[in-house]
Structure 1
Amino acid sequence: MLVACLDVGSTDTKLAVVDVGDGTLVATASHPTTAGTDVLDGVDALLAGCGPVRRVYCCSSAGGGLRLAVVGQEALVSADAAHRVALSAGARVVHVAAGRQTPDGLRTVRAARPDVLLLVGGTDGGDPDTLLHNARRLAAARWRVPVVVAGNADARDEVTALLTARGLPVAATGNVLPRIGVLDPVPARAAIREVFLRHVIGGKRLSRGPRFARLVSAATPDAVLTGVGLYADQLPGDLLVVDVGGATTDVYSALVPDETAGAAVAGRLWRARTVEGDLGVRWNVDGILAAAAAEKVTGGDDTLGRAAAACVVAVRRHARAGRDLRNVVSVVASGGVFRHAEPHAAAAALAPTLHDHAGGWALPRAPHVAVDRDYVLAPAGLLAADHPDAAAALLRRHLHRP
């Protein structure tokens, strides 16, 4: 059975046709994203050219993707935990606030123009005062952005009632930090995804009718992280993925849980994503140059050279956020700059990251290196729930080779 997997990006819309019987990649194609008219124009052009399929899966990062702000209780505990969970849900975190919010503080949050607010605070059974205070402030501020409540379970009903009484769309879910040192990303990630699909994607004005909103099932980074996790499950160790884009560089890592690792107050995410909004080879070239200079990283003057510098800086930042990458057995590079490069050139661009002895992080010992040339991580993530075996086979075929 053939299915179509679409990724509607800000620049290009990519199509993969997959036989879900055995995970064979039957065809790929791309089309400039037609955001200037209706994104479905490009989608329909791709679908018309691929032949009949039984089902269409779709993820999207067009229109800026999912912009999310966090309001938490303590900067280094609940707010930090929520920030990491939001990134794992595919969001672009545009602001993080902590503590009892003032009207000026909420104006700063509003100025960041989030699509969704993630409201957290306290462990289950802990002090609910800050969480309730912030909920009252939001209710009084005539807030209109959907709110995901993922804080102290004992205050959840009261917080939800305060916000819904003012007509706010609210999704209440499990606490991101139910106990000190225990990070539970799954409920909040699911709630953020649901809010994105129900309230956000249709409000981006990417399409004139409701069909596009019905078509999309995930934000693109969310689908990619699902694909990363699925591929990691097939490996004998840890996985690192670096996705260099036109506007950002995303780094994903999937680590084998280590029960002997020391406790962290804000918990640990064994599968995580970081986003470097200043590192992009098309729209943020100046950011790459500035960050490379600050980190004393050298790179070439062409696009691939700038991508090499972006990789080094982004992976350094990812590792410094508490990710131990020494047991990585596979490194995957993604993004058009790598897909369109000759294999030897792509390998040369990745070499500075894999030999970054000055970066202050523990390097992988001897990882296998591959380029996601056929862009299968997002399609695999889209297929993982309905066709996990096909998705896993798709990844094995296309990421086990350089």
Structure 2
Amino acid sequence: MTIRLACVDIGSTWTKAALVELPGGRLLDTRQAPTTPDDVVAGVLAATAGWDAEVRACSSAGGGLRLAVVGYEELISAEAGHRAALSAGARVVHVAAGRLDGGALAALADASPDVVLLVGGTDGGDATVLRHNAAALAGVAAPAPVVLAGNAAVRDEVAAVLTAAGAPVTAVGNVLPDIGLLAPEPARAAIREVFLTHVIGGDRLSADARLRRWVRAVTPDAVLDGVAALAALRVDAECPGVLVLDVGGATTDVHCVPAVDAEQAGLQRAAVGVPARRRTVEGDLGVHSSAGALRTAARAEGLADPGEEPLALGEAAAVVALRRHLRAEAGYGPGGASARGVGLVVLSGGVFRHAAPNDVAAVVDRVAADRGGAGGVLGRADVVVDTRYVLAAAGLLAGDEPAAAAGLLGALLPG
């Protein structure tokens, strides 16, 4: 028996939909409609009109989930929390380390987070900073929801302080239970639930109850699940790692699932550990609402001004985002783990999907020649374009319908 499922990505600019036949994952149709910011449900209905299919969705409308991380010290607790946040598909808008004072609380408020990830200390270790920061957050008027993922020895005490102040708090296992042991999954799951409850379940995007039923994840999280599923299909490839450059209207996201061998080089941040799936989200690199900031970022990197042409903007966003990603990856070992462990690069986003193949090939050649770092990846990997935007849909299917996800992703396998 076959059924049809509408997999929908509600973006900041466009709402993209893929009609998928289960269980095999045959792609029946794709559509897009402008995202309707006053009520995103209207855009979903426009993109799926006439399909007569259940909707399963992810969303980055309104910039996705804005998350702030408050930790014990920059290199250990705060960075561990930062990575847990990225693995949850959140956009990290602020990181604070150490004791929160008046200035730090003001900076946190200015970042306008949807949720605060509060971490600090290994289990049974020093809890003074975690206690102080919980009390400081408790004194803030209308505090954002808090995911507490710090020292388990004081978890109940700290949660009680926040709850008494009226802050919605979810207490989970420590993201750093011991030095050298990173455990982001409990925090990741909690962040996801906070997103669904407070952002999707609230009225910021829509008051329509259907949105809460439809949305399963933040879009970057769904795409990263799709990237992991694609990498799993390439386990027998000479270099199975996958990197995706997803250029959107508001952000450019870099998703990476590198080959296992790439994890073995000497780690410079061994105390935090290396996540198997990695992402950087660049909130100032978009070809529509962030175009002005993108031009500024391109100039700062020594690139020519991309002007107004969409593909030129997409090229600039890809180069700058990949350079930044590789600089972040350099902390995992000499040269950066992604550069060594990637055999397939996928270009995603409307600027690439709608461009002529020869024009995209020219972009790839120019990026491959980039001496600022990006060429080190594109110059040695196969490069394909997600022309039908299946990565987000595959990510939405990967958990419950892995065969369908694999069926969708087959189109991205070279040859």
Say yes or no: TM over 0.5: yes
Q: Quote the residue 2:369 is aligned against.
A: 355
* Larger mean Cα displacement after TM superposition, 354-363 or 387-396: 354-363
**Does the Cα contact within 8 Å between 2:241 and 2:257 map onto a contact in 1?**
yes
Q: Quote the residue 1:339 is aligned against.
A: 353
What amino acid is aligned across from residue 256 of structure 2 in structure 1?
A: S
Shift of 1:143: 4.2
Q: Quote the residue 1:61 is aligned against.
A: 60
Alpha-carbon distance between aligned partners in 2 of 1:218 and 1:304, rounded to the nearest angstrom: 28
Deviation sequence 1:321-350 (CA, Å, 0-9, x none): 124222310000011000001112112212
Q: Quote the residue 2:332 is aligned against.
A: none
Q: Quote the residue 1:169 is aligned against.
A: 168
- The structure-2 alpha-carbon separation of the partners of 1:401 and 1:29, relative to structure 1 and needing over 3 Å to count, comes to farther
Alpha-carbon distance between aligned partners in 1 of 2:241 and 2:98, rounded to the nearest angstrom: 35
Q: Quote the residue 1:17 is aligned against.
A: 19
Q: Quote the residue 1:40 is aligned against.
A: 41
**Does the Cα contact within 8 Å between 1:59 and 1:216 map onto a contact in 2?**
yes
Q: Quote the residue 1:205 is aligned against.
A: 204
Shift of 1:300: 4.7
1:284 aligned to which of 283, 290, 294: 290
**Does the Cα contact within 8 Å between 1:330 and 1:367 map onto a contact in 2?**
yes
**Does the Cα contact within 8 Å between 1:181 and 1:268 map onto a contact in 2?**
no
Shift of 1:67: 0.7
Q: Secondary structure at the match of 1:135?
A: helix
Alpha-carbon distance between aligned partners in 2 of 1:148 and 1:361, rounded to the nearest angstrom: 39
Q: Secondary structure at the match of 1:48?
A: coil
1:367 aligned to which of 381, 388, 412: 381
* Larger mean Cα displacement after TM superposition, 177-186 or 313-322: 177-186
Q: Secondary structure at the match of 1:279?
A: coil
TM-score, normalised on structure 2? Answer: 0.91
* Larger mean Cα displacement after TM superposition, 170-179 or 259-268: 259-268
Alpha-carbon distance between aligned partners in 1 of 2:375 and 2:82, rounded to the nearest angstrom: 22
Alignment of 1:182-331 (within 5 A): 182-235=181-234, 236=237, 237-258=240-261, 260-263=264-267, 264=269, 265-298=271-304, 300-301=306-307, 302-322=309-329, 323-324=336-337, 325-331=339-345
Alpha-carbon distance between aligned partners in 2 of 1:312 and 1:295, rounded to the nearest angstrom: 9
Alpha-carbon distance between aligned partners in 1 of 2:170 and 2:25, rounded to the nearest angstrom: 35
Alpha-carbon distance between aligned partners in 1 of 2:389 and 2:158, rounded to the nearest angstrom: 42
Alpha-carbon distance between aligned partners in 2 of 1:186 and 1:364, rounded to the nearest angstrom: 31
Q: Quote the residue 2:158 is aligned against.
A: 159
Alpha-carbon distance between aligned partners in 2 of 1:32 and 1:117, rounded to the nearest angstrom: 31
Q: CA RMSD in A?
A: 1.9
Aligned length: 398
What amino acid is aligned across from residue 7 of structure 1 in structure 2?
A: D
Q: Secondary structure at the match of 2:272?
A: coil
Q: Secondary structure at the match of 1:261?
A: coil
**Does the Cα contact within 8 Å between 1:224 and 1:378 map onto a contact in 2?**
yes
Q: Secondary structure at the match of 1:76?
A: helix
Alpha-carbon distance between aligned partners in 2 of 1:159 and 1:353, rounded to the nearest angstrom: 49
TM-score, normalised on structure 1? Answer: 0.93
Quick check: 1:148 aligned with 2:147?
yes
Alpha-carbon distance between aligned partners in 1 of 2:299 and 2:46, rounded to the nearest angstrom: 43
